[in-house]
Structure 1
Amino acid sequence: MALSPDVSDPVVSPPAPVRAPRQQSPFGALLLRLHFYAGLLVAPFLLVAATTGILFAFTPQIEKIVYSTELTVADPGTATLPLADQVAAARAAHPSGDLLTVRPGEGTATTQIDFSDPSLDADHQHTVYVNPYTGAVTGRLTTWWAATPLNEWLDNLHANLHLGETGALYSELAASWLWVIALGGIVLWWRRLRGVRSARRLLTPDLSARKGVRRTRGWHAATGMWLTIGLLFLSATGLTWSNHAGANFDEIIDSLDASRPAVSTDLTGSASASGGGGHHAGMDMGGGSAAVPVDPAAITTVYRSARDAGLTGAVTITVPADATTAWSVTGNDSLWPVGRDSVAVDSTGKIVERIDFADWPLAAKLTQWGIYAHMGQLFGPANQILLAALAAGLICVIVWGYRMWWQRRPTRADRRALAGAPPARGSWWTGLPMPAIAVGLPALFALGWFLPLFGIPLLAFLTVDFVLATIRGRRHNGGRPEAPVSPAPAGS
């Protein structure tokens, strides 16, 4: 007779198989550590750049509130006064200084007229604001390349934190590493999801994780995926006018003969030139006679001639130093399609040279479009809203990144720590294949030369990480060099 099993005996399930942790390649280990440390150390600068960038993007709206009297006309008329009369009204209110540039007002905008002042540096002027319909002076400001004091203050806050050349290093460092962090994050997220990749998994956070680092990582990575193209754009355009990388960029553009063109205003030898020579007013012209001064009243004729030549929208009229130099009229409309056509006009209204934006080299066009878009001007309010959303998203990604760092901190009683732990050090310094080193090192050196504030911190990181690994290895191996270790598990 078969014996019945004892129902009181517990049923023991076989142990679940232990899955070996997924191993990182040397490249993955290096990228993970680089993404972690770059994010940890550069993120504060990116946080400042994003916050100040939101403020700067909405400068036009803020200006119209702060400088409503100077910039706008409450009751625009039907016809504007001759431009020469508006300049005369500004001169009466500001009798000192040379007349430099004029930006005629239309619609609800006032006319802006710039005068030099020996007490100011070359970048600043006194700008007089005139009602183009009545000729009444509505105000005067000390401006920076035609930008209001508020615009200058917000621009310097974003670019250098009001610390001059030293402060500008912060924004260049942020721009130099933003693209590295963004692309590195994409690669890491792509590698983590291997085997289960889909558009939904790549672009949406894992909501099945109720809490912890897994949920935070999902929001951090998915949001970063959505922001990547915009972040790459901000990085590239920000670098074009940085001090060090921007200078290298300008050299390349110049070598390709793709710089922004400008009309020639030299009238020497033409029928319109008077007095001969090409020196500025008040300087000896070699024949003992002084340069013939320019009649400001000619600005009405010059302006009308530029309009008749097809220049529409907002323009800037640059006043020549003497009669041997032509006036220049340049479109300064930053909205798409960009109005940057330019003409050189003599005092009789004759067009002596013309350069249209359509004729600019492609590199110069891309640079100009990039600058306007980076400043939130190219597509008007839509551009501003997009920049604000991009900056806000970047702030969220940074906050989630720091939260992951905090969530990963050891919490056991024997391993408590105040902050999160870095990813485990892998064997990237010994495991990278020689072909990767042979190709990668020259490429990194070239990139580091072009972007100094990427190259110098990267060299410092690799050196310090290698030295610390060597010291730690010798300490753990009784003074012998560290043996290659297993790469860190993915996502550690």
Structure 2
Amino acid sequence: MTRAFSQPSAAPPAKPASGDLYRAVWRWHFYAGLLVLPFLILLAVTGALYLFRDEIDTAVHADLKRVPYESGAVLASPSALVAAALANTPGTAVKYTTPAQPDLSAEVTIKTAAGDKRAVYVDPYRAQVLGTLPDRGTVMWTVRHLHSLRLFGPVTRGLIEITGGWTILLIMTGIYLWWPRGQGGGVVSLRGTPKARVFWRDLHAVTGLTIGAILLFLAVTGLPWSGVWGAKVNEWANGNNFGYPAGVRVAVPMSDEHLNHLGHTTWSLDQAKVPQSSASPTQTTAIGLDNAVAIFDGLGLYPGYAVALPTTPTGVYSGSVYPDDLSRQRVVHLDQYSGKPLIDMSYADYGPLGKTLEFGINVHMGQQFGLANQLILLVVCAGIVVLAVSAGVMWWKRRPRGSLGVPPLPADKRVLRGLVGLLVLGGLAFPLTGLSLLVMLGLDWLITRRPRRRLA
């Protein structure tokens, strides 16, 4: 009788060590920080300033925005204010903005013969010009353009998407690196003194833990302004009915002009087109600005609304206002001949996605919950700067002399491949971030292939 012997089964592949996973995550956390921390400092500083835009603008430009007010004072007619502005700055009046408060000036936007636009500030009681600035030339408009990177040209708008996507990666990998692994310190407390690297490591980790969730929220709610992802989501959410949300059904002639060309608007209406006026045999004369403002007042538009003036026979009077209170946001287009509202919409008319994103944007800008909203985000902006500075100091104390100090590769390359696979999936969701990921993968490959210097 023969005896059968069983062959030993092949040993299962060894599982990647936890240290290898830590190294892989640390390596890409380093790359994410290297890419976005300079931009995050810019966004944090400009964002902190923009939280208090009304207060800062009114203080810096008090000579243009503040006016003496006495109880019972009567406002001059809008047409008289526009006439005063045109006498000071010849051209074509394209927008009139009503005073937001009794002690604030009115604003008339004029397109000059040279083609540029000037904002003329007028005392609304005495019809006296207080001064002029380039359109959107206040300090806070400059800060806003810095924050959105528009000041550096249209191409840089894509950096918002790249920064947002890599910030999400930075937060996710940061949580893994922070996660307690039996250590007592550096989780919610600081160890050592500023002379020691461990102090900066702990400061970085604890600050990230404190503000990480809100920073993630800011990154996500900042993405709607991005050039590729944001534009496509906007088109998908509000692409019907000439760019208006699904809650607004229009059956009027539409022009090729977009609302965002007439002035500042919300994200949901960024692609919305403007309707056309239609003259009739009995109505060939425009109602005029004074009557248009009276209609807007009668419809209950919130004080401080802007009126885009018709400059062509088919143009309309477009009244729009976007105060901190979302429920008071409103856009109304009037036929310039009959004064009939052609489109009248508010936040309540936005679709579910539009409402959600607009709410997030409102919180992002520090508007939704008053002063508490502003102060919390101010602390977060300060925390972002602390994160960036502590990361820089920590890297400087750790890096070998003459080297970039990239964290080492994991011994088991399967860990790195798995992590990169997850990053690629994120890149598919955010195309520009994915493109930048390919660039970073190429650079990482070059770094790993670079021959090391031999010690003499």
The question of a shared fold, defined as TM-score above 0.5 by the shorter chain, is answered with: yes
Tell me the matched-pair count.
410
What secondary structure does 2:329 align onto?
coil
Aligned to 2:347: 357
Distance 1:452 1:313, change over 3 A: same
- Matches of 1:384 and 1:120, distance apart in 2: 37
Residue 392 of structure 1 deviates from its aligned partner by 1.1
- How far residue 224 of structure 1 moved from its aligned partner, in angstroms, is 0.4
Question: What is aligned with 1:16?
Answer: none
Question: What is the correspondence of 1:265-344 to structure 2 with a 5 Å cutoff?
Answer: 265-268=275-278, 273-274=279-280, 294=286, 298-322=288-312, 324-333=314-323, 335-344=324-333
Alignment partners' CA distance in 2, 1:93 and 1:233: 46
Is the 2:189–2:202 contact (alpha carbons within 8 Å) kept by the matching residues of 1? yes
Check if 1:448 corresponds to 2:405.
Answer: no
Task: Give 3-state SS (helix, strand or coil) of 2:406's partner.
Answer: coil
Cα deviation for residue 248 of structure 1 reads 3.5
1:104, distance to aligned residue in structure 2 (A): 1.1
Distance 1:230 1:444 in 2: 22
**Corresponding residue for 2:107?**
112
Give distance in 2, aligned partners of 1:255 and 1:28. Answer: 44
1:322 Cα offset (Å): 4.5
Name whichever of 258-267 and 319-328 sits farther off.
258-267
Q: Deviations over 1:14-54 (max 9, x none)?
A: xxxxxxxx952544332111002221343223223323333
Q: Could you tell me which residue of structure 1 aligns to residue 3 of structure 2?
A: none
**Do the aligned partners of 2:29 and 2:170 also contact (CA within 8 Å) in 1?**
yes
Of 141, 161, 172 in structure 2, the residue corresponding to residue 152 of structure 1 is 141
RMSD: 3.6
Unmatched 5+ stretches in structure 1: 1-21, 277-290, 411-416, 477-492
Distance 2:399 2:140 in 1: 43
Q: 1:462 to 1:90 in 2, by over 3 A?
A: closer
Going from structure 1 to structure 2, the CA distance change for 1:464 and 1:305 (only over 3 Å counts) comes to closer
Equivalent AA in structure 1 for residue 119 of structure 2: T
Residue-by-residue CA offset, 1:219-239 (whole Å, 9 max, x unaligned)? 211110111122122222332
What per-residue deviation string (whole Å, max 9, x for no partner) do you get for residues 98-150 of structure 1? Answer: x21211114111111112224235xxx2222222222222222221xxx2342
Q: Does 1:57 align with 2:51?
A: yes
Output the TM-score relative to the length of structure 1: 0.72
1:422 matched to 2:406: yes
Given that 2:89 and 2:112 are in contact with CA atoms closer than 8 Å, whether structure 1 keeps it comes out as no
- Distance change (3 Å), C-alpha of 1:207 and 1:76: farther
Return 5+ residue gaps in structure 2 as ranges.
1-15, 246-267
1:231 is matched with 215
Structure 2 equivalent of residue 126 of structure 1? 118
Select the residue among 128, 148, 151 that pairs with 1:136.
128
How high is the TM-score relative to the length of structure 2? 0.77
Q: Does 1:92 align with 2:87?
A: yes
- How far apart, CA to CA, are the structure 2 residues paired with 1:210 and 1:56? 32
CA distance in 1, matches of 2:342, 2:39: 48
Once the two structures are TM-superposed, the CA of residue 185 in structure 1 deviates from its matched residue by 0.3
Indicate how the Cα distance of structure 1 residues 400 and 80 shifts in structure 2: closer, same or farther if over 3 A, else same. Answer: same
Name the larger-Rg structure: 1
Contact 1:316/1:332, CA 8 A, preserved across alignment: no
Aligned to 1:490: none
Q: Percent identity?
A: 28
**Aligned partners of 2:177 and 2:110: how far apart in 1?**
55
Structure 1 residue 385, shift from structure 2 partner: 2.9
Counterpart Cα distance in 2 of 1:352 and 1:422: 60
In structure 2, give the amino acid aligned to 1:174: T
CA distance in 2, matches of 1:149, 1:366: 30
CA deviation vs aligned residue, 1:440-487 (integer Å, no higher than 9, x gap): 73x6445325534422332233334345445669x99xxxxxxxxxxx
1:30/1:426 contact within 8 Å kept: yes
Residue in 1 that maps onto 2:439: 460
**1:215 and 2:205 matched:** no
2:48–2:381: 8 Å Cα contact kept in structure 1?
yes
Secondary structure in 1 matching 2:332: strand
CA distance in 2 between partners of 1:162 and 1:326 (Å): 30
Specify whether residues 306 and 215 from structure 1 end up closer, same or farther in structure 2 by C-alpha distance, changes over 3 A only: same
TM-fit CA distance, 1:325 = 4.2
Structure 1 position 187, deviation (Å) = 1.8
